[in-house]
Structure 1
Amino acid sequence: MRYFFKDDNNITSFRNIEIFVNVLADQLIRFSSSTMNNLKLSESNESNNSNENVRGTRGTSNIRSIIVKSLIKVSKDFATKFKATPIMDEDKSAHLDHADHKIMFFNSREFNSFTILYQDKNKIPDNIKLLLKSQAISGDFDNYNTMFSNDILTKLEGMESEYVLSSDNLIKMAVILLRVNANVPVVICGEAGCGKTSLIAHLALMIKVQFQSLNLYDGIEEETIVNFISEALKKSEKEEIWLLFDEFNTCNYLGLLADLISNRMFQGKPISSNIRLFASCNPYRPRVQNEDGRVTNVKKYKERGDLIYQVKPLPKQISDYLWNYDVLKPKDEYRYIQIMVKNELKELSQPLLVELISTSQKFIRKVEEPYSVSLRDVKRVITLVKFFYKSLNNRPAYKKGHKYPSNEGPILIYRSYVLALSICYHSRLCEQDLRKQYRSEISQIFQNHNIFMGEKLFTKIIREEQEDYINRMQISNNIVKNEALLENILVMTVCILNKIPIFVIGETGSSKSLALRLISSNLRGSESNDDYFKSLPKVHINPYLCSSSSTMDGISKIFEKANKYQETSSDVINVVLLDNVGFAESSSSDPLRLLHTLLEPNYPATGPTVSFVGLSNWRLNIVKNSRALLVQRPRFDLDDLVDISEHFLNTNTIESSKIGIIETLAKSCSDYEQQCQALPNFYGLRDYYSLIKRLSSNEFTLVDTQMALARNFGGLENNIKLWEKYFKNIVKILFDDDKNYSWSFKPIQLIKSNLNDPDSRHLMIIGKSEATLSLLVDQLQKSGMNPLVIIGSQFPDDSKDYCYDVLKKIIACVETGNPLILTDLEMVYGNFYFFFLLTRIGDERISDEITG
């Protein structure tokens, strides 16, 4: 061992030496039974080459020496030690793609087969070239870097596979296969979406071996793991079987798995030699902070948690087997994109699209994180290019005389490129400046290919597609077709139709739920009003409101229910809606930990059978985000608020000479919302919507204006000075009067105004006195109404059954149309919000859904 590992400080344990010995022994045994053990170089090859390296290979012993030295070098690479530190240090890990770019080995799947894989044919040593030529291998060596997947598969004895093959993952497969041959466990660590799982799964498919995987998560039961291993042990009595434990450092049974992987022991007994063990994991890495304590990767909708991945540190004995998959190198990723585009798009593929996708990937990594995008995003772009090209070619006009797309714009293939890129990359950027910068860079790529596609035209193409969808919908006049609603409708519709999971992130009031309601009410299959929508499947929503009390069982059941509906109705697309999904992630039990299993089912499934939409006010962690398309709505700016105001307030409401007050009103409300939050998020966009609607429904009297402001931007103590500071000038301009108006409204006045308004919002009263309830009941009874009062229980055992009974009473009351007063019912307030969401969507299964 001192001879082999002289001056190698990476070898620090006997386990490293064991790996080296096992791999080398396997290869030497295969070499000894190979015909190469007895072959000599041909005389012609010896005499025609005067190279020193070649002269040194004369004779059988020298041939053996070449092969043995090559096998020793490969085996030494496998003994590289990764130090098990609490935090992953990428510089200390053995990188799969940083290994020697030429690997020589005897293939266990083919008798007497000596294989050499390389990324650069010019770096193959001359003596190895001579050796291979001596075995009747003629002609030049293939250049894998210029070959596409089908060409490589043909070289690999005509194998067929949909997997993207390149010189990069061929070498990775060879590295894995060498370990498998020596029965050394394979543990791969890498960023989300880098291809760890698919690499192993497709390697098993290519060599035709039994393969099973188990997706692990925090909260999986030990019984599930034990049963999985026990079933595999039974099958291994007859054949070789590969077992993959996916995301294994998320679960709570690392001790069980560590013993299985490192010692090949299960329940105190050694496992069969027919079982090959694989595991994949994400790195244990905290968010890096600056000296002032701020997290460096701050985003508009910042992810929660101290770790980038919610995982546990790896057991020390596992680290000996760890290989760092890392992220793809730019040149390797570019090659993958080339192959994927050519294989999937066929005649729709162009070098332009490859460059557009590659530039988009780089842009997102530049403004976010290196692991923010992956080949999953490339696959989504390809899917959407095919969808848009087919849709635009066959889509009927939404009204007579209207032609879309027009003949004046870019050809359909380029329009399809723009729309696919806009959904996968442009919509995930949470700031308008970043979106503009992205459009500029993409437009430049088009220009480099002599195709006119300026930034304005890029924006116009997106807007035209958004308007084409929303103009086909039946929408109430009191709904503003703002940018947020247009984007949400297009992105959600397209993702639902293509079963691409999607997270829509945006502040409260950014039209997330509204967009889904409009999609559900308009995409009704053959019953739709629009001809294009009639050709599409009916969209059926299966909603679930997430909260801090959500459970894995509840989320699992909503997916099971959607899948059952899907099995019985082929002309319907079932959608699992997780609203307020961020609250579930912030729960101490983290019920979303099984979400990646539901969004990416176990191999050999190619994708989910139902569509998925998650709505949240903040980003989820990267493990969940990477498995879905991400949309992040920029914060509403002044122009957005002005557009909303102009939709409702016009010269019929305000004198034409005072129409300019709209921008002043929008700015005042925006400043008030940003600077005067007595409680976090107490005021938001819904308050502004309600204010504008209230003003538009009345003549602009002084009292109505003051009351509208007080009802929507009041509600807390000591608001009077703030109202005067931000809204006094508006009143002066509207009514041409400099009087000192009183902004003080008694609570009873605000309550009466709300109760007498047929279009009022739900009323929340915050008070410390028990007289508040009596006051409210008295006001309702004076108005001829008979309210139902439900007072919450404070007993700890009144939980699930109690909530169920309360919700049944609430539903019965709402059906009668009587007022409903709830007090001290924190345990059901979240579900009560869900009731109104379901009512807006038009779901008839209200009682079943809100009670779980």
Structure 2
Amino acid sequence: MYAYNLCVNGFTVVLVGDPGTSKTLSLQILRDNMCQSEIENFQTRLNKKSIDLKALHVVSFQCTQNSKALRIEERWNQAISHSESKLVKPLLLLDEIGLAEHSKHSPLKVLHHLLENPKISFVGLSNWPLDAAKMNRVIVHQIPNNLDDDLKAIGEAIYKTEEHTNLPKGDIDMLVDVFKELNKQISKQKLPLCKENWLGRRDFYALIRHYMHNQVPRDSFQGVMRNLGGFRDPQFQKCLADALKKGTRKSVTEILTLMSAWEPLQCVKMNLQDENCRHCMLVCEKPYSWQLLLDHNLLSCEDAVFLFESNFAADRATMTGHDHLHKVINCMEIGKKAVLYKLKSIHECLYDMLNQRYYGNSLGVFLFFFFLSVIPPFSFFLLSENRFCRVAMEDQTRDCTVAKEFKCIVIVFKEDMENSVITYIEQFNRFVLNLFVCLILSLVCCCFLQRPKKHFLDALKSNTFHTLGRCLNPTYKQYQCLKKSLRECHNLCTETELSELFYGFNDDTIPSAISHILLQPKSQLQSDCDDDEDIKQNEKKKLEKLSELFYPLRHPAKIACLAMEIPPRNTNSTSQPFNTFVEYLLSMKKVIIVILLNYSQNKTK
């Protein structure tokens, strides 16, 4: 606030700080207190100190990597035009000025001569320092990142803003201890995806805010798993379990039970249903992992718009980016879900939306969410139920309506995360999706804790998890056993031959097939039975059904090769004649597709 007061008196300031350090919020507080409608009240409080101030008029510009010098200079001239008024003092705000520094157009060079003898106040907000040529022309204020020292004060301040909450005040200290301990442990470990400062301020704000309105930590770890536990690496989960054990003083069994109740897909589901939480980032190990959302009915094609990155020349044109932005804006207005598949090129244009920096109406009343501020958000009375946010399109911005039902899902790959900065990833609730891991985590509570099926069902409220537990032990060893069964069934010598026999076979194929079986109605799978012989028979039927799913995926050339080399086991080779191509056409009398290498050709009678 002191730095902003400097700019009110005609100085030029660049404020540098990590996400969540209240750069934008501080300016908004200053703007709200010094706007024309409130300046008289503010002036009355300052009269005791003989301070005379004009109303503050802020001219803002959202910077992106597509910003151009011409637009910045236009905003500068616009702010200067207001300096002729005796009632207001203009201030030019360049939000996220650090993004413009990476623009190929070098738009910030225009500031070199404008800042030599500025006639207006100037503020630049950045998550990282700028180059020396600009920093030497302004007053630079670096906000220290004393995260550990601030956590308790922040948690208590947020707690005081809520009059009605089920969260005991003592649990604030417990959540602070858990956050600190987890941050401390992962900083010592060299985990994939977990960079330095993997956990940020916004993660803590989201954690506290969640428990203000939901079940307290002693009854549910939903808030912990959604805001802190999205990375399902075993080593990371061990760090999280240790931090929870130390902070909550619960037993290992209790902690694992509460953690297992919130596997990745369940967390994503609750995130999509919660109107007040952050948007969702899915970190996929495979290009198709995100389709779990469709398979498990978390998304539907009618309620979501899918936008994909493309490397075709025509799709990399500027108009394609505009088309993507307009589709996202349409989703914002009607309350649909927007799924952005590796579309990082438009993320900067949607910076305010991804940060959920919404305001209520044209009067400038802002609705800030808990994870944007270092201090608790103030309770503003909104005159309208509509919410708006800025969207930057090239070097211009426009205000767009945001429906309460709107949600954005950003899909990235692991390599994208490794090349991303914390300022980008901290905007989201982050979840790592893997078919095999999602399947294992759905069953780990039942198998690891060795609880009776009835207790497990009562805990997870599911009628599907136990079916796989009856036929397969969800461990890596059993997963390898399934691979071995497929190899033996088709007389394959090595695992690499599985990809030769089955189209598209990879590490996720078997878990995907198992998931498909589990999603079938219970009557089609098996009934409850306690006799060991019946259980073995059901397990055998399960394996047979799993094998049946792979039959249509078999490569014809590989089948013929195997048939000629080694007769299939448990099969009478004389009863499996191979008809000639013509004989097959005559018997089928329909269109078939003959696959030759990577080409296909239709053949008819």
Q: TM-score range by the shorter chain?
A: 0.5 to 0.7
User: So what's the TM-score if we normalise by structure 2?
Assistant: 0.61
More divergent stretch after superposition (485-494 vs 639-648): 639-648
Write the distance in 2 (CA, Å) between the matches of 1:370 and 1:646.
39
- 2:122 matched to 1:264? no
Write the distance in 2 (CA, Å) between the matches of 1:179 and 1:595.
27
- 2:200 matched to 1:381? no
Query: Which structure has the larger Rg?
Result: 1
Deviations 1:593-631 (A, max 9, x none): 323233234774536633222233335423432211111
Deviations 1:181-207 (A, max 9, x none): 3x3321123333443333333344345
SS at match of 1:773: strand
Deviations 1:30-71 (A, max 9, x none): xxxxxxxxxxxxxxxxxxxxxxxxxxxxxxxxxxxxxxxxxx
Write the distance in 2 (CA, Å) between the matches of 1:544 and 1:460.
37
Partner residue in 1 for 2:43: none
Partner residue in 1 for 2:182: 363
Partner residue in 2 for 1:767: 597
Write the distance in 2 (CA, Å) between the matches of 1:281 and 1:489.
33
SS at match of 2:18: coil
532, 540, 547: which one pairs with 2:310?
547
Partner residue in 2 for 1:220: 67
Partner residue in 2 for 1:593: 348
- 2:428 matched to 1:628? yes
- C-alpha distance 333-617 of structure 1, shift in aligned 2 (>3 A): same
SS at match of 2:304: strand
Deviations 1:557-584 (A, max 9, x none): 122212332xxxxxxx532222xx22x3
Write the distance in 2 (CA, Å) between the matches of 1:335 and 1:230.
42
SS at match of 1:213: strand
Write the distance in 1 (CA, Å) between the matches of 2:232 and 2:27.
35
Write the distance in 2 (CA, Å) between the matches of 1:741 and 1:324.
82
Contact 1:213 1:244 in 2 (8 A): yes
Contact 2:503 2:554 in 1 (8 A): no
Write the distance in 1 (CA, Å) between the matches of 2:124 and 2:516.
57
Contact 1:213 1:243 in 2 (8 A): yes
SS at match of 2:195: coil
Deviations 1:199-241 (A, max 9, x none): 3333443455333432211123555434433433333332113
- How far the C-alpha of 1:358 sits from its partner, in A, is 5.0
169, 193, 197: which one pairs with 1:350?
169
- How far the C-alpha of 1:384 sits from its partner, in A, is 1.8
485, 493, 497: which one pairs with 2:273?
493
- How far the C-alpha of 1:318 sits from its partner, in A, is 2.9
Write the distance in 2 (CA, Å) between the matches of 1:747 and 1:614.
51
Contact 1:505 1:631 in 2 (8 A): yes
- 2:255 matched to 1:458? yes
- 2:102 matched to 1:247? no
- How far the C-alpha of 1:639 sits from its partner, in A, is 7.2
Deviations 1:490-511 (A, max 9, x none): 34333xx325211122334546
Write the distance in 2 (CA, Å) between the matches of 1:236 and 1:357.
47
- 2:128 matched to 1:283? yes
Q: Mapping of 1:84-95 within 5 angstroms? A: none
11, 14, 30: which one pairs with 1:187?
14
Q: In structure 1, what residue type is equivalent to 2:99? A: T
285, 293, 299: which one pairs with 1:514?
293
Contact 2:61 2:95 in 1 (8 A): yes
Partner residue in 1 for 2:333: 564
Contact 2:207 2:223 in 1 (8 A): yes
Write the distance in 1 (CA, Å) between the matches of 2:227 and 2:207.
6
Partner residue in 1 for 2:143: 325
Q: In structure 2, what residue type is equivalent to 1:433? A: Q
Write the distance in 1 (CA, Å) between the matches of 2:79 and 2:107.
16
- How far the C-alpha of 1:246 sits from its partner, in A, is 1.9
Q: In structure 1, what residue type is equivalent to 2:432? A: Q
- 2:512 matched to 1:689? yes
SS at match of 2:237: helix
Contact 1:188 1:279 in 2 (8 A): yes
Higher relative contact order (CA 8 A, sep 6+): 2
- How far the C-alpha of 1:512 sits from its partner, in A, is 4.9
Contact 2:268 2:280 in 1 (8 A): no
Write the distance in 2 (CA, Å) between the matches of 1:712 and 1:283.
51
Contact 2:12 2:123 in 1 (8 A): yes
- How far the C-alpha of 1:422 sits from its partner, in A, is 1.8
RMSD between aligned residues: 5.3
Write the distance in 2 (CA, Å) between the matches of 1:606 and 1:332.
19
Partner residue in 1 for 2:413: 617
Deviations 1:281-321 (A, max 9, x none): 2337xxxxxxxxxxxxxxxxxxxxxxxxxxxx736243453
Q: In structure 1, what residue type is equivalent to 2:597? A: G
SS at match of 1:593: coil
Q: In structure 2, what residue type is equivalent to 1:331? A: D
59, 80, 85: which one pairs with 1:233?
80
Q: In structure 2, what residue type is equivalent to 1:685? A: D
SS at match of 2:128: coil
Deviations 1:694-734 (A, max 9, x none): 9999998999998865654759989979xx99xx9xx86xx
Write the distance in 1 (CA, Å) between the matches of 2:576 and 2:12.
74
Contact 1:247 1:280 in 2 (8 A): yes
- C-alpha distance 463-371 of structure 1, shift in aligned 2 (>3 A): closer
24, 28, 31: which one pairs with 1:201?
28
Partner residue in 2 for 1:422: 225
- C-alpha distance 640-333 of structure 1, shift in aligned 2 (>3 A): closer
SS at match of 1:486: helix
Q: In structure 1, what residue type is equivalent to 2:115? A: R
Deviations 1:89-112 (A, max 9, x none): xxxxxxxxxxxxxxxxxxxxxxxx
